[in-house]
Structure 1
Amino acid sequence: MTGDLWDRLAVEVEKLDGVAGRAVHAAVRERAAPLRIQVAGRAGTGRRSVENIVTASVGADSAAEVTGVVVDAPGETDPAFDGDVVVYVLPIRLDPASVHPADRSALARIDARRLVVVAGGPGEQADQIAATLGIGVFTVDDPALPDAVAARLAAAFAHRDEYLVRTVAGIAAVPAARDLIEAAIDAASTSREVA
């Protein structure tokens, strides 16, 4: 179901039930907000370079905002990894199979469904890091990196759609407005089944 249909639903529900209509409007606005991509890593890892690559790959017309997040900075609290997508940048160490404890701790706090890991070195070293962590790791120059970020963004959009449907389904409304809500939810479910 497209945003226009949800917007129309909000308007129609608000005509019948002001409180429910405002709740639908709020849910639609939340779904329409730009996705957030956090590019995180410790100082000196090449995080800014990866941030530039990610920014270029999502494009200026994208509905995504890219921000940098410094990890393990002296005197700073641990960052919240609350972006829709988190691109985590790891440095290559003398022993590539050795991952810094601060990086391990940070990675453990990020939902794997939102995570893309990038190593700042040659592919064989990235492979060693991947084997150590048990997750996929891209190199900065890997041509598949933009596709991995795009796939995570697509999953984040799908998650927002599902969250919108769940949120709207839970909105209390007068019977006539509830009928409109139920019809919209049914239409959304049908369009997801077709896709």
Structure 2
Amino acid sequence: MRRIGTRLATLALLGVTAAASGGLLGARPAAAHAQLVGSDPRADSTVTRQLDQITLTFNELVRGNFSTVVVTGPDGARHGTGQPRAVDKQVHLPVEPVRSGGYRVAYRVVSADGHPIQGQFRFTVTLPPGEEPAPAVGNTDAADVASPVAAAPEDAGSGTGRWWAGAAGLGAVGVTAGFLLVRRQRRVPDR
């Protein structure tokens, strides 16, 4: 009779563990993190004037510390000068004179709740003849071209992968605990 109770308790423990890990697997983090809502220049736009800065606008406050913005030009060189500066919901990065061609802006900022947000977009510069700046020299070091943002899906910042990893870990611990409990009960002789 005692064995039946022990087995029922073990099965109940396994059921609770499975339900808890299943709940975590199905749960999604709240989408209350900052999101990019605009930029100057706009994504996929064509600019016909010289730029002095790139501005990213978010729907919530962002932290200035740990923010990274990289502007890569058609020559593979970085065009940002200095550090990004966050003011309320905007991040500003000064840029050196740009030449005509395609540019990529990659960013990684931290929202007010501490969640990192990352993404990228492109824009094109088409300057009138005579407004092209002289080409920059010595700014194409391979280390400078590396982006702070790996090519990632649009919702890479959602944290879904961490939820899956946590739930899988919890499930593995629960299954292991249940297995060890059943195994231990088999070793204890009935009295």
Same fold at TM > 0.5: no
Query: Greater helix percent: which structure?
Result: 1
Scaled by the length of structure 1, what TM-score is found? Answer: 0.33
The structure with the greater share of residues assigned to strand is 2
